[in-house]
Amino acid sequence: MSVFQEQLARCLAAFQVSTAALQTMAQAFAADMQAGLQGSPRSLAMLPSYLSTPTGREQGCFAALDFGGTNVRVLLTELHGDGTLHIQNRLTRSLRDPAAGYDHIGPAATATALFDFIAAQLGELLPPGPAYALGHTFSFPIQQTGLNRGTLMYWTKEFETQGVVGQEINELLGAALKRCGRGDIQPVALLNDTVGTLLAAAYSDVHCDIAAICGTGHNTAYLEPHHPATGKPMIINLESGCFNGVPRNDLDLQLDAASESPGISHLEKMVSGRYVGELARLACLRLLPYGLLAGSPAAMYLNGSDCLDGATLALWAADAAPRYVGIRRWLTEHCATIDPLAADCAALQAIAQAVLTRSARLAAASFAGILQHIDPELTRPHTIAVDGSLYEKAPGYAAALQSTLQELLGSKAAQVTTRLVKDGSGVGAAIASAVAVRS
């Protein structure tokens, strides 16, 4: 084996997590959940949503705002009251458009401009006339004190807008709606996207009690059968990206140290699309001195932090050997690298696959931890609803997640179904407003 192949193998091995390590992580996750419910210090935030799962009989026309990525979406949804629904109208807008001269999520952006922009999109989709009850999916950690009340704890993903952290989110939105003359649109519910996805899936599937996002950010919510505050079922937003009981390698430590929030959010930094590209980049940098992409301008390109993202890894992972048409095209377009060696393309592909597979396996271990907490013997069926670009688009990701659950749960894994619930966060917001209006 050449020195390069040896170093590549070593790098790939650092991303392998054994079944035993995943079992240990699942146990630690379940213990952290338990501690969180009892109010002891823990890394999981365990945030209350003030919502339980829907009955499926929720009915009526509701507006929804889905805020959490660079695109904001607004929807008008009709719930039929029999587990089915119809999206009557929808609109998607980017929160950042340099060509149009605006950026509502960068460090110079302000809360007023951001919420005025969102209110304008709502005003465009919803014709004045009837009053609208609005559910607001806000895909960040929110400390809720009621179904319609919650403050942003801190921004995640690439958001940095000033004046939002610590503020009542729906007050900011309500004030902006009034400023633009649309006081007829009333925010009645505030929820995390994982909670929205759980609601959307549970609207037609009584077995759904866990929902996760495996996309730019990573997080999971679950239905706690007996919430200590109420003794009743309540959906909890785990903010599972904060979980710190994960086995990390030296590249994880390097990424964490250079990140905007060193020392926290270990799981998010190993699983989410926001960071997997950076992990792959650090792995490539390790291999440059041993001949990866030797003599090509790609080496220079890879020196720039955040130059790889989840979509690039998905493209590399999906490419077909031995021609590697996709990787070759990517190298030409991004790094002016013509005619790379097949061995280099194979190495890039192996790195992408290793990082993505580990992401799926760690997410699966956290699901196993939740199942251990809610139904240790797996006596009943559970559906885990998952949304997000990694789960939906990265080749082999959903399969790796499913097979890891099998590995961890053995024959009882037959009780657990994992399924894609696309855009559930918007539909979930409509369901949450129906619950709010009813109560």
Name the 3-class secondary structure at 411.
helix
Q: How distant, in Å, are the alpha carbons of 211, 377, 424 from that of 416?
A: 12, 12, 19
* Contact characters 29-68, ligand BGC, x per CB under 6 A: ---------------------------------------x
Cβ proximity to ligand BGC, 89 vs 261, nearer residue: 261
Q: What does the alpha-carbon distance between residue 240 and residue 243 come to, in Å, rounded to a whole number? A: 5
Cβ proximity to ligand BGC, 174 vs 388, nearer residue: 388
Q: Smallest distance from the beta carbon of 221 to ligand BGC, in angstroms?
A: 8
Among 53, 192, 312, 404, binds ligand BGC (CB under 6 A): 192
The interface region with ligand BGC, picked from 13-21, 96-104, 190-198, 244-252 by CB under 6 A, is 190-198
Q: Smallest distance from the beta carbon of 134 to ligand BGC, in angstroms?
A: 19
Q: What does the alpha-carbon distance between residue 146 and residue 65 come to, in Å, rounded to a whole number? A: 18
Name the 3-class secondary structure at 95.
coil
Name the 3-class secondary structure at 303.
coil
Cβ proximity to ligand BGC, 36 vs 141, nearer residue: 141
Cβ proximity to ligand BGC, 148 vs 219, nearer residue: 219
Q: Smallest distance from the beta carbon of 373 to ligand BGC, in angstroms?
A: 19
Q: Which of 354, 336, 67, 86 is nearest to 217 (CA)?
A: 67
Q: Which of 253, 58, 275 is nearest to 158 (CA)?
A: 275
The H-or-E segment that residue 248 falls in is none
Q: Smallest distance from the beta carbon of 216 to ligand BGC, in angstroms?
A: 7
Do residues 179 and 169 lie in contact, with contact meaning Cβ atoms separated by under 8 Å?
A: no
Q: Which residues contact 341 (CB under 8 A, 6 or more apart)?
A: none
The interface region with ligand BGC, picked from 9-17, 133-141, 311-319, 339-347 by CB under 6 A, is 133-141
Q: Smallest distance from the beta carbon of 304 to ligand BGC, in angstroms?
A: 23
Q: What does the alpha-carbon distance between residue 367 and residue 289 come to, in Å, rounded to a whole number? A: 39
Among 42, 157, 358, 382, binds ligand BGC (CB under 6 A): 157
Both tokens of 289, joined, read: 């001195």
Cβ proximity to ligand BGC, 193 vs 209, nearer residue: 193
Specify whether the backbone of 306 is left (phi greater than 0), alpha (psi in -120 to 50) or beta.
Answer: left
- Count of C-beta atoms within a 10 Å radius of residue 35: 15
Among 36, 123, 141, 277, binds ligand BGC (CB under 6 A): 141
* Contact characters 369-398, ligand BGC, x per CB under 6 A: ------------------------------
Q: Which residues pair with 61 in a beta bridge?
A: 78
- If binding is defined by CB under 6 A, does position 144 make contact with ligand BGC? no
Cβ proximity to ligand BGC, 36 vs 68, nearer residue: 68
Among 170, 194, 296, 402, binds ligand BGC (CB under 6 A): 194
Q: Which residues pair with 237 in a beta bridge?
A: 47, 221
Positions in the binding site for ligand BGC (CB under 6 A): 68, 139-141, 156-157, 192-194, 213, 217, 219, 239, 241, 268
